Structures are given as C-alpha cells and as structure tokens.
C-alpha cells in the first residue's frame, strides 16, 4: 500500500512540475494583450472591406488580407539553422504566414531588427538577427491596416486604411512607445494618395481638390509642413530626393509616355527631369543626385541609372519596376539594390499592378556609375518564391526587409 501511494505521489509531483514549467514558458512567450481594447481615439473605429487578390498590395489594388492572426507569428519558416557555438542567422527568413502592411530593417543597440505591421490587427512584430524569435511588441490594435510606411529607425509609421469599409482613405501618423508597448498619434487629412516617406520621416502625398491637386508634406507629429506643388493634373506620384528635393512622376503605364519634375523645396522651384519614357517608374537617391528608373512598352522593358549632375543615363542590363522593387544603399550614394524578376513580359507595369502576372525575384546590387551588377541571392525558400515589394535596408547594408506580393507576407534577408 505504501509503495502504491509513493508511486501515485511521485506521478502527481512530476505532473505538477511539468505543468508549471509549461505555464511559465507559455507566459513568457505570450504577447501582452491590448489594454486599450481598440483603435486610437480621434476618429471612429474603422473596418476594412473583404478584398480579393490585388495588384501591389497598397491603395489602388489591395491584396488578400487573409484571416486574423493568432497570438504568435503565424508559423516561422527559416532558410538556415543554428550551428555549434555562436548563433548564425538564416540568410532568408519568412517572418510570418499572415499578411503584412509594411516592414522596416534597422539597427538598434547593436542588434539588427525587422519590424512589421500585421494587416488584420495592426499589431507590431519584431525579429532580430540574434535568434529565431518573432515577437509581438505592441498592445494597440488598429484593424486591417492596408499600408504601413515606416520611419527608418523603426520608431513609428504612417498607418493607412479605409474608413468603415468605404472609400475614404485614412492616414494615421503613429509613434511607437517602447516602454508602454503602445501606439499613439494623430490623423492626417483624409484621402491622401500616392503617399511616400522620406529618410527624415516626413510624408509626401497627393491631395486632390475640386479644381487642383496639391502635393503636401507632413510630419510624423501630424502637421502639414508645407505645400510643395499644385497642379490641375492629378496623376502625380511623389518620390523623395533627400531632405531638400521632391520628384514627381506620372502614374506609370506602358501605353503612356511618362514625365517627371524635380522640386527644390527651399524655393519651390520646379524643373523637368526624366521625360518621355513609356511606363516610367522612378526612384531618386537619398541625396537627390541620381535616380534609377525603368521603362516599359508593348515591345521591351529597360532599366536605367541617371546622373542629374552629368545629365547622363547609364543602361543597366536588368529589368524591373524601379519604384516598387528597388531601394537605395544606406552607405553609398551610387549603389542601389533591386529585386529583379527571372522573366518579365512586356506591357508592364499595368498587368503586374492588376495582379494578372507575378514575378519570381532575385536580389541584385547595382553600381549606378558604371552600370555594373552583382547578384546577392535568389529569393526562394523551400520552394516558395518571392515577388518582392516595399524593400528597406539596414544602415550597414546587410539586412533587407520586404513584402512578398504573392501573399503579402513579411520577409527578412541577412547578407553578412
């Protein structure tokens, strides 16, 4: 009898210890719940419409928002592993199976990080090159964010979504509180189009009026800094060329010869830039001295690097859609990184924006002075291929973040 009691007691003790260990592990890995229970105050809580497969995953063509996420990251797939000794970060990582509104790669406290916003909930998640964890780091829920434009240091972002499932585009300038794990901010004017963020955190966007269109600049605090340009023509897209200049180019289509302007913000003087290019897609360098631009017609696709000082274009022997699939180096004013499709048919980017075609990309380094190119790696993991958009790069040029347009999932590439 005593022996039986001893065995039963031992089993109960072992079971209790196992349960406590499991509970503690779960408590450690579970993200904090939302203490506020909803969207930041200032305007009514919004709900997104259910949308089908879209074009670029942003305004003007939504991607499939998918289902709401669980408390974890939704299943992490990695392209490498842990060896003996020090941790070795995988080269390519899929950070979540859930759609993301946007991501950013940056360095903080000597650790390289990628933060991204989950579309369904607006929760912020973070991955680092120190381990394989993907942790939820925000307590604030912003339902169904379509686009998140991040500050370069990961301290905030512009959340963009549709109000109450309608057609009104809202833009919320959000700052992340590292201590409280919350997001707070203020609203910008409704229906801002073609929004783009600069390296200093300012937002440039198109605001259409009854008789004219304004290109306005806003700060992360929600203030309108100034109106940079007005025009009776509404089909402009802004691109930053450093803190001192802004480029405007016409919305790209293979059937239209695109035009672009350069605006000097100190004087608001404008001058023609790249002109007469079918399917023009343009991305200016951070100091505004250069641009990478692509052209597309019903017969050919081409990629160029342009030096505004020398007024000279260099042909790049690759093809892509420059504004959507490239990011400038953080270390060199003449280097740009681009996601390059394996194959790219004509009549772009129209068919790609409409979601009729999808690309399988590799990441390339391009020297815009010589036109020299070098492949960094193929964006494929366990048979899953990537059509990369929304590229960002860390300050040391070694870590990239991007969104896979095929399913809007967030990814991280480490090259060191």
Tell me, yes or no, whether 101 and 46 share the same domain: yes
Domain identity same for 359 and 397: no
Does residue 12 have a pLDDT over 80?
Answer: no
Kindly report, residue by residue over 156-204, the tens digit of the pLDDT: 999 999 998 789 999 999 999 999 999 999 999 999 999 999 999 999 9
Q: Does the residue 53 lie in any domain? A: yes
Q: Nearest 5°: CA angle at 38, between 35 and 41?
A: 105
Same domain (yes/no): 174, 308: no
If asked whether residues 356 and 395 sit together in one domain, one would say: no
Average pLDDT for residues 112-130, to the nearest whole number? 97
Does 47 share its domain with 100?
Answer: yes
3-state secondary structure at position 92: strand
> Long-range contacts made by residues 297-302, C-beta under 8 angstroms, separation at least 24?
297/254, 297/346, 298/254, 298/255, 298/346, 298/347, 299/346, 300/346, 301/344, 301/346, 301/348
Same domain, 106 and 174: yes
Question: What would the pLDDT profile of 335-380 be if each residue is shown by its tens digit?
Answer: 999 999 999 998 899 999 999 999 999 999 999 999 999 999 999 9
pTM: 0.81
Closest CA to 249 of 207, 289, 278, 269: 278
Distance between first and last Cα of the chain: 64
Distance CA 177, CA 124 (A): 11
Q: What is the largest CA-CA distance in the chain?
A: 97
How far apart are the C-alpha atoms of 124 and 214, rounded to whole Å?
A: 32
How many domains, the chain?
2
Is the CB of residue 202 less than 8 Å from the CB of residue 225?
yes
Integer CA distances (angstroms), 221 to 42, 196, 203, in order: 14, 16, 11
Per-residue confidence band for 90, with pLDDT thresholds at 50, 70 and 90: low
Is the pLDDT confidence value at 225 over 70?
yes
Contact indicator for 138, 156 with CB cutoff of 8 Å: no
CATH of the domain at 285: 2.130.10.10
Residues 161 and 246 in one domain: no
Q: How many C-beta atoms lie closer than 10 Å to residue 29's C-beta?
A: 12
Residue 285 within a domain: yes
Report the share of the chain in percent with pLDDT over 70: 78
Structural contact between residues 192 and 207, judged by C-beta atoms closer than 8 angstroms: yes
Instruction: Report the phi/psi class of residue 279: left, alpha or beta, with left for phi > 0 and alpha for psi in -120 to 50.
Output: left
Identify the DSSP state of 398.
-
For 377, the 3-state DSSP assignment is strand
- Assigned domain for 10 exists: no
Whether the CB-CB separation of 239 and 249 falls below 8 Å is answered with yes
Mean pLDDT on 50-73: 35
Contacts 24+ apart (CB under 8 A), 17-23: none
Higher pLDDT, 297 or 403: 403
Domain assignment of residue 79, yes or no: no
Q: Are residues 98 and 240 in the same domain?
A: no
DSSP string for residues in 160-202: EEEGGGSS-EEEEEEEEETTTTEEEEEEPPS--EEEEE-TTS-
My answer on whether 346 and 408 are in the same domain is no
- Per-residue pLDDT of 17-47, as tens digits, reads 444 443 433 333 333 333 333 334 334 333 3
Half-sphere exposure (Cβ direction) of 176: Cα atoms closer than 13 Å: 27
pLDDT in tens, 228-247: 999 999 899 999 998 899 99
**398 pLDDT higher than 50:** yes
Quick one: 165 and 59 in the same domain? yes
Q: Are residues 358 and 239 in the same domain?
A: yes
The answer to the question of residue 50 being in a domain is yes
Phi and psi at residue 391, to the nearest 5°: -70, 140
Confirm if 262 and 241 have CB atoms less than 8 A apart.
yes
**pLDDT for position 66:** 33
Residue 6 pLDDT more than 50?
A: no
Count other C-beta atoms under 10 Å from residue 102's C-beta: 29
Rounded CA-CA distance 179/358 in Å is 41
pLDDT at residue number 73: 33
Tally of CB atoms within 10 A around 354: 13
User: To which H or E segment does residue 307 belong?
Assistant: strand 301-307
Q: Which domain holds residue 56?
A: 36-70+94-187+391-416
Residue 21 counted as domain residue: no
Q: How far apart are CA 317 and CA 303, in angstroms?
A: 7
Could you tell me if residue 15 is inside a domain? Answer: no
Q: Report whether 316 contacts 326 (CB < 8 A).
A: no
- Pair (244, 293) in one structural domain: yes
**Which of 199, 228, 234 has the alpha carbon at shortest distance from 215?**
228
Q: Is the dihedral of CA 102, 250, 293, 267 positive or negative?
A: negative
How far apart (Å, rounded) are the C-alpha atoms in residues 411 and 96?
Answer: 8
């Amino acid at each position: 009898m005593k022996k039986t009691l001893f065995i039963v007691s031992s089993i109960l003790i072992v079971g209790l210890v196992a349960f406590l260990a499991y509970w503690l592990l779960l408590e450690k890995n579970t993200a904090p719940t939302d203490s506020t229970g909803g969207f930041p105050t200032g305007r009514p809580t919004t709900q997104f419409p259910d949308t089908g497969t879209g074009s670029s995953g942003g305004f003007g063509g939504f991607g499939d928002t998918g289902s709401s996420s669980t408390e974890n990251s939704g299943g992490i797939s990695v392209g490498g592993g842990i060896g003996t000794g020090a941790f070795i970060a995988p080269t390519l990582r899929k950070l979540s199976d859930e759609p993301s509104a946007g991501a950013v790669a940056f360095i903080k406290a000597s650790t390289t990080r990628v933060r991204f916003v989950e579309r369904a909930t607006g929760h912020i998640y973070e991955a680092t090159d120190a381990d394989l964890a993907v942790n939820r780091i925000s307590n604030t829920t912003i339902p169904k964010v379509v686009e998140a434009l991040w500050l370069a240091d990961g301290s905030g972002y512009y959340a963009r979504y549709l109000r109450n499932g309608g057609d009104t585009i809202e833009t919320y300038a959000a700052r992340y509180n590292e201590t409280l794990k919350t997001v707070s901010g203020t609203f910008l004017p409704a229906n801002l189009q073609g929004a783009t963020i600069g390296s200093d955190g300012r937002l440039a966007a198109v605001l259409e009026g009854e008789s004219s269109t304004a290109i306005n600049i806003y700060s992360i605090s929600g203030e309108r800094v100034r109106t940079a340009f007005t025009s009776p023509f509404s089909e402009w897209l802004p691109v930053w060329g450093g803190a001192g200049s802004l480029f405007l180019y016409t919305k790209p289509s293979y059937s239209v010869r695109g035009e672009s302007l350069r605006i000097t913000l100190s004087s608001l003087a404008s001058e023609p830039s790249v002109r007469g290019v079918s399917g023009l897609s343009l991305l200016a360098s951070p100091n505004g001295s250069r641009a990478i631009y692509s052209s597309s017609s019903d017969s050919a696709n081409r990629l160029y690097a342009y030096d505004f000082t020398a007024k000279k274009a260099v042909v790049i022997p690759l093809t892509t859609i420059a504004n959507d699939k490239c990011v400038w180096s953080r270390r060199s004013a003449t280097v740009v990184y681009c996601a390059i499709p394996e194959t790219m048919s004509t009549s772009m980017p129209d068919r790609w924006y409409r979601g009729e075609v999808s690309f399988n990309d590799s990441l390339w380094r391009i020297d815009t002075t010589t036109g020299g190119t070098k492949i960094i790696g193929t964006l494929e993991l366990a048979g899953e291929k990537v059509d990369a958009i929304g590229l960002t790069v860390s300050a040391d040029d070694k870590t990239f973040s991007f969104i896979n347009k095929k399913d809007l999932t967030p990814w991280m590439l480490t090259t060191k």
